Amino acid sequence: MSVKILNPGILSLLQDAGRFGQHQIGLTNGGPMDPLAFHWANRLCENNDAADVYSNATTIEVSIGGFKMQAECTTRVAVTGGEMPLTINGEEAERWQTHTLNSGDTLELGYSQNGCRAYIAVSGGFQVAPSFGSSATVVRESLGGLNGQALKAGDIIPCAEDSSTQCWSVPADERPQYSSEVTLRVIPGYQQDTFNAVQQRLFFHNTFEVSDRCDRMGYRLTGPQVKSDIEGILSEGICLGAIQVPADGQPIVLMNDRQTIGGYPKLGSVLSLDLAKLAQLMPGGKVNFTAINIHDAHNALHLAHSRFTRAQLNTETV
């Protein structure tokens, strides 16, 4: 009971919800770059229980596209995230919907037309042994997934048999709309005051561009130079979404596979909800920032949680 990778595409990684509680030994979180798409994929495959609509089941995160796999058992599958054309046995299929795969069936993702990360879930999740409490793949640390590496052609990933014919789809108004230009909400940090009023205005009132130096560790942006009154700080712990400003004045937004400590001054942190928007941008994508306070950030998180919890899937016939 498994699937076989025929073509891993540009970069495909096994990811569960992430590795938490290990920063003290230098291990970063990993996990899905677009958590909402990840959770929807798992929910479509009923990888959750009645008490919690969220799931920690392992999925495949596909970056850019060009992915192909073959089922070696009967299972249900769902694809969410970036707009990568989906085909099953060569025929077009809907994303954001559950499908049945029989033994020998192939699933293929073309190259993304909008957004750049998609998630493939199967019933029960991919059965991968955890490493430090998680199956999340962090290639830099050789942790998680299959031997801590990106998927490659010929890899066999165990999964559960599922002969259920119950299929679901995510309502259109609950599906994220991916764009080539985004506005990210920022919670200012205690080092904000090391950037004078002019530098803060440069940051919050200009558009930055995603450079080609963007990956799961961080997104380096290009635009007007933003300077701090200090050149560096003693290395300290770094949170998800932290906006570091190195000496060249080009901000770096730190992502899931970031290092756990760093010594560049920080303007603040991007609201975790908005990081998926950034993670779905290709190089050349446009980024704007707007400041919010911590109370607005908490409210936004609670509202997003409530919306996902209360959303109802549509029943699909097969």
- Whether 205 is covered by a domain: the verdict is yes
Which tokens belong to 281? Answer: 């941008």
Q: How far apart are CA 134 and CA 16, in angstroms?
A: 7
- Whether 310 is covered by a domain: the verdict is no
Average pLDDT over all residues of the chain: 93
- For residue range 256-275, list pLDDT tens digits in order: 999 988 889 999 999 999 99
Q: Are residues 10 and 157 in the same domain?
A: yes
- Whether 316 is covered by a domain: the verdict is no
In the predicted model, what is the mean pLDDT of residues 100-120?
95
Q: Are residues 153 and 227 in the same domain?
A: no
Beta bridge partners of 214: 219
Q: Last residue of some domain: 145, 170, 195?
A: 170
Q: Are residues 155 and 74 in the same domain?
A: yes
The range of the structural domain enclosing residue 32 comes to 2-170
Q: Quick one: pLDDT at residue 24?
A: 86
Q: Last residue of some domain: 148, 170, 192?
A: 170
Rg (CA), the chain: 20
| Structural domains counted in the chain | 2
Q: Quick one: pLDDT at residue 163?
A: 82
Do 297 and 65 form a contact (C-beta atoms < 8 A)?
A: no
Q: Are residues 277 and 146 in the same domain?
A: no
- For residue range 129-156, list pLDDT tens digits in order: 999 999 999 999 999 999 899 999 999 9
Alpha carbons within 13 angstroms on the beta-carbon side of residue 237 total 11
Q: Quick one: pLDDT at residue 37?
A: 97
Q: Quick one: pLDDT at residue 318?
A: 55
The larger pLDDT score, comparing residue 16 to residue 230, is at 16
- Whether 39 is covered by a domain: the verdict is yes
Do 35 and 276 form a contact (C-beta atoms < 8 A)?
A: yes
- Whether 176 is covered by a domain: the verdict is no
Q: Are residues 236 and 277 in the same domain?
A: yes
- Whether 317 is covered by a domain: the verdict is no
- Whether 312 is covered by a domain: the verdict is no
Q: Are residues 97 and 230 in the same domain?
A: no
Q: Are residues 263 and 283 in the same domain?
A: yes
Q: Are residues 137 and 31 in the same domain?
A: yes
Do 13 and 32 form a contact (C-beta atoms < 8 A)?
A: no
Sign of CA dihedral 180, 185, 190, 196: positive
Q: Are residues 42 and 138 in the same domain?
A: yes
Which tokens belong to 27? Answer: 């291990």
Q: Quick one: pLDDT at residue 50?
A: 65
- For residue range 168-185, list pLDDT tens digits in order: 999 999 999 999 999 999
- For residue range 196-238, list pLDDT tens digits in order: 999 999 999 999 999 999 999 999 999 999 999 887 787 888 9
Q: Are residues 190 and 52 in the same domain?
A: no
Give 317's pLDDT tier (boundaries 50, 70, 90).
low
> For residue 273, which phi and psi values (nearest 5 degrees)?
-60, -30
Q: How far apart are CA 111 and CA 49, in angstroms?
A: 33
Amino acid at 281: L
What is the domain-level CATH number for residue 237?
2.40.100.10
- Whether 119 is covered by a domain: the verdict is yes
Q: How far apart are CA 63 and CA 67, in angstroms?
A: 9
What is residue 96's three-state secondary structure? coil
Do 119 and 61 form a contact (C-beta atoms < 8 A)?
A: yes
Q: Are residues 199 and 139 in the same domain?
A: no
Count, residues in the chain: 318
Q: How far apart are CA 211 and CA 43, in angstroms?
A: 33
Q: Last residue of some domain: 113, 143, 170?
A: 170
Q: Are residues 108 and 217 in the same domain?
A: no
Q: Quick one: pLDDT at residue 162?
A: 86
